[in-house]
Amino acid sequence: MCIVSHDCQPATADPRSPLCPAALLAPEQRRHLALQALTTDNLSQLARQQQVSRKFLYHLRDRANDALEQAFAPTTQPEQTVLFHLPVTPHWIRQFVLVAVLVGHASFRGAQEMLDCLLDFSISLGTVHNIVHAASTTATAHNATQDLAPVRVAALDEIFQNQQPVLAVVDVASTYCCALSLEDHRDADTWAVRLLELQDQGFAPKATVADFGTGLRAGCALALPAVPCRGDVFHAEYDLGQVVRFLDNRAYAALTASDKLGRKRKADVAHQQAARQEYERAVALADDVSTLARWLREDVLGVAGPCLAERQELYDFIVAELRLREPQCEHRLRPARVMLSERRETLLLFAAELDQDIATLAARAEVAASVVRELLAVQEMPPRSGRRWRRDQELHALLGRRYHELSVAVAALRRGVVRASSLVENLNSRLRNYFHLRREVGGDYLELLRFFLNHRVLLRSERAERQGHSPAELLSGAAHGHWLELLGYQRFQNAA
């Protein structure tokens, strides 16, 4: 009988055998042994010490090497790795064309070239046009079914393409584009007809906001006689701000001329004094108008401000002070002063509604209206302002447990104040990215653009409640499918 000791165990021993010591090793022991196999230079000695075969150690070492290579492999995929397979069908080609035109801002010829570059697929310009036209027909029908009753405040404006006006109406709360139409004119009748057509879809806002275009405002008065049309405060602030910049530049020019004349040794003393006086007058005028513009922007037209009566009084004071200074720069100050004189009531329409909202909130919270107005003023101050937090602490001490609830209500009231038609201006800026690709834009193309912008999910927004939702969802409060699915297409689903 031959007895084989552990010290001379043959390398051919089967590690899977229940009689083999390797089969009795726990997972933790195998892992420790694999690490030893990686670091040792003498596997034979390690095999004798652990009473296992060299073949078993080679197996553990290879597995450990594979695990390390996988753990520290580059995160990037090899260039030739097939991630997934895409079935390119005529149905998918039509979707690609729409995505290229609407998401990629590509021209029709650009969509052609994309297909040729990526798929080696030729498509005619007429086919691209037909695909977009067919989608426009579906989009137009879908746009007509949208209920516009939830629109409370609408912003109105005009944009021009190839010297033709495009009339736009946007819901301020949801950013939903209610109308986008190419017209031959932008007079009162055209605006009135378009607004009356929207009423067939339930369009009945409590207020509108727009700039001071005569045709636009006349059309609002015809179609919506009982609805106030607020003035866009941005234009008033911007126009007076342009005057301030002009006066500042003129003051700097006067300063430069005075210094230059003062450095000349042979300059006449009288000329030097005259230049100095001109500089002082220019600086005083620029400072005065800048102060008046700041009062107008922060106290009269700002969200946080006094009641309507005090705003009107301060407004009249600013206009009167501008009139007194008109002779010093009439060609600049007079147009700004006349503009402000004619638009006081329209620009302050928002303040009248704000006073009502403050009074309602104060009555519901059983506090004085001045407390609500003070809390609104505090929330309008910069977050890093030390003055803000001192005033906030005083309000917190005054209100006690009611502070948080009232603060949330005031924040909601503050977000609901509409003073400008900024959203429709934002829409116009996005439309220009599409208009520059085409010299002529037809009504069906505009309807497709309107449908796409209304049903495309907003990836980012200054307001967190808008992110991840489309304007149509925000308007209706109901979710909808992807815009491609609404147009009748079935989107590709990646099985991987």
pTM (two decimals): 0.77
CA distance 355 to 312: 13
For the segment 82-101, the average pLDDT, to the nearest whole number, is: 91
CA 362 from chain centre, in angstroms, equals 33
Identify which of 290, 286, 341 has the alpha carbon closest to the alpha carbon of residue 316: 341
Give yes or no for residue 437 having a pLDDT over 50.
yes
The pair of structure tokens assigned to 13 is 């021993």
- Architecture in CATH for domain 143-231+420-486: 2-Layer Sandwich (3.30)
Give yes or no for residue 6 having a pLDDT over 70.
no
At 267, is the pLDDT very low, low, confident or very high (cuts 50, 70, 90)? low
**Which are the contacts of 118, defined by CB distance < 8 A and separation ≥ 6?**
none
- Angle made by CA atoms 192, 194, 196, in degrees to the nearest 5: 65
> By CB neighbour count within 10 A (0-12 exposed, 13-18 middle, 19+ buried), where does 209 fall?
buried
CB atoms within 10 A of CB 119: 14
**Which are the contacts of 192, defined by CB distance < 8 A and separation ≥ 6?**
218, 219, 220, 222, 223
CA distance 98 to 18: 66
Mean model confidence pLDDT for the chain? 88
Give yes or no for residue 12 having a pLDDT over 70.
no
Q: What is the pLDDT of residues 280-332, one digit of tens each?
A: 999 999 999 999 999 999 999 999 989 999 999 999 999 999 999 999 999 99
At 196, is the pLDDT very low, low, confident or very high (cuts 50, 70, 90)? very high
Q: What is the pLDDT of residues 148-195, one digit of tens each?
A: 999 999 999 998 888 889 999 999 999 999 999 999 999 999 999 999
At 5, is the pLDDT very low, low, confident or very high (cuts 50, 70, 90)? very low
Percent of the chain residues past pLDDT 90, beyond the cut:
60
CB 471 within 8 A of CB 176: yes
Q: Identify the three-state secondary structure at position 407.
A: helix
The pair of structure tokens assigned to 467 is 């992110």
At 4, is the pLDDT very low, low, confident or very high (cuts 50, 70, 90)? very low
164-171 and 153-161 beta bridge pairing: antiparallel
Of these ranges, 43-52, 307-316, 384-393, 423-432, the one predicted with the greatest mean pLDDT is 307-316
pLDDT of residue 77: 60
